[in-house]
Each structure stands twice: as C-alpha cells, then as structure tokens.
Amino acid sequence: MTLCEAKLDVTMNSSFCEITREHPDSRIQIWCNAHMHMYEFHSEDGSVMDQLEAVMADASRWHTVFRSTRSMRLLSTECDCGPENISTILEDQNCWYVQPLVFQGGKAHYRVICQGREGIRKAVNLMRRNGYAVELASLKDLDFSTFANEMFISSSNLLSGVTGKQLGVLADAYSRGYFDEPAKVDIDTLAKGAGLSRSTYSEHLRKAEARLLSNLAPIIKISLD
C-alpha cells in the first residue's frame, strides 16, 4: 500500500475563517470524534477571547473547560459539519485528516493521509465542486513505518512522567506559536501570560520537553537504524 501525505489550505464559509482573517495572530484548533468535540482558541489580543466567549455563551451546547487571557478551550457534544462536508468527502476517497484541524490566516489547514495520490486529487476536485476554495499546498509519499510510529503510539506512554503543570505550559507554548518557525512568541511573553516567572515557566517547559524526548527515544533510535 502506498501512503501519501497531503496538506490542504481551504477557504470556506465559516465563522472560524472569518475570525482568523480579521485577527491574523489568532489560531483555532479542533479535535473531533463521534461524541465530543474540543475547540481551542488562541489570540494575542485578549479582547478577541472576550468576544468569542460572549458569543459561545449564547449556545448551551458549549462548555468552557479552560480560559486564560489569550486562550480558551471549549467542549461541545454537537458538530457544525453538514452532510456534505470535507471529512465525508475525504473518507469516500479513502483519505482521512490528522487532527487537529487548524484555522489560521482565514483558512482551514488540513493534514491528510491518503492511499495513493489519485484519491486526494479526486477529493480536492469534489471539494471544489461543493464550493470550497482548496489549495493543494503539498503532496508527498509517506513511509508506512514512520506513519505507524507517529499515528499509533500510546498517549499514556508518550506522556508518562509529564506533570499537569508541565503539560499545561507545553500546550500553552504550542498553542501560542512558540514552536513555530519562526517563533510567534518569546518565553518572556509566555511566562507573563501564565502569571509565572520566566525561570519557572522555562523550567516547566524544559522538563516537559526532556520527558517527551526521553519517552520518544526508542522510536527515534529505531528510525535511525
């Protein structure tokens, strides 16, 4: 079986596209399954969080699980997807997207795994017929062993030894673009937003990174063989 990885940039009629277009520094990530959906919002402009929370408060299906000055996480038991949505189009062509789905810069960014290049090309054409503006940003072959290691590693093993505080700092740093290239935020800004000293924030982050690398070390070594 030949696996391919595609990256799609999609412009659609979505409030999330509108929000990230109006506020270029904002990012929205969505994790979906059949019963529960988690939405994570981030913006350096705290007023954006206030606006979002006010809008979401009008809908009883939303439940706020975390809120800080620049970040917010919500859970919902309902999905906004229609019957002819991108997920079903991908599934019909033996493709699926790797979560989370990321909205940034006015577009939805999908990372898609497909069985052969023809499937993703058909899926893109179907999306366009259904009114989506789709750009195929990249398409490449994917090594199966690398894919299997990445997709099916146990989360309990991966996060073993990482404390709640360390995990929170790591998630915050990732959400706010600290690990982007180039970085969208520095450690001082992160620490200030979390209400921690620079040294304390850095220590939590360093320990989380060290533990994750330690847990991943066997897979890294196998990949080098």
Least confident of 100-114, 156-170, 180-194: 156-170
Q: Establish if 131 belongs to a structural domain.
A: yes
pLDDT over 90 (residue 181): no
7 and 108 part of one domain: yes
* Dihedral angle over CA of 18, 19, 23, 27, nearest 10: -120
Q: Establish if 147 belongs to a structural domain.
A: no
- CA–CA separation, 218 and 129 (whole Å): 45
Which of 97, 120, 141 is a domain's end point? 141
Here the contacts of 205-211 (C-beta below 8 Å, separation 24 or greater) are: 205/166, 205/169, 205/170, 205/173, 207/163, 207/166, 208/162, 208/166, 208/167, 208/169, 208/170, 209/170, 211/160, 211/161, 211/162, 211/166
8 and 113 part of one domain: yes
49 and 157 part of one domain: no
- Domain residues for the domain of 79 are 3-141
This prediction has a pTM of: 0.66
- The secondary structure of 103-129 as a DSSP string is EETTEEEEEEEEESHHHHHHHHHHHHH
Contact 2, 141 (CB under 8 A): yes
15 and 101 part of one domain: yes
Which of 141, 167, 195 is a domain's end point? 141
CB atoms within 10 A of CB 200: 14
Which of 141, 173, 191 is a domain's end point? 141
pLDDT over 90 (residue 65): no
Considering only residues 197 and 84, tell me which one the structure prediction assigns the higher pLDDT. 197
Q: Establish if 148 belongs to a structural domain.
A: no
86 and 175 part of one domain: no
Considering only residues 216 and 80, tell me which one the structure prediction assigns the higher pLDDT. 216
Q: Establish if 94 belongs to a structural domain.
A: yes
**Structural domain count, the chain:** 2
167 and 130 part of one domain: no
119 and 21 part of one domain: yes
pLDDT category, 219, cuts 50, 70, 90?
A: low
Contact 110, 35 (CB under 8 A): no
Q: Is 157 exposed, middle or buried (0-12, 13-18, 19+ CB in 10 A)?
A: exposed
pLDDT over 60 (residue 143): yes
**pLDDT recorded at residue 159:** 75
CATH number at residue 210: 1.10.10
**pLDDT recorded at residue 153:** 55
99 and 177 part of one domain: no
Q: Establish if 162 belongs to a structural domain.
A: yes
53 and 162 part of one domain: no
Q: Establish if 146 belongs to a structural domain.
A: no
pLDDT category, 96, cuts 50, 70, 90?
A: confident
* Dihedral angle over CA of 121, 126, 132, 136, nearest 10: 0
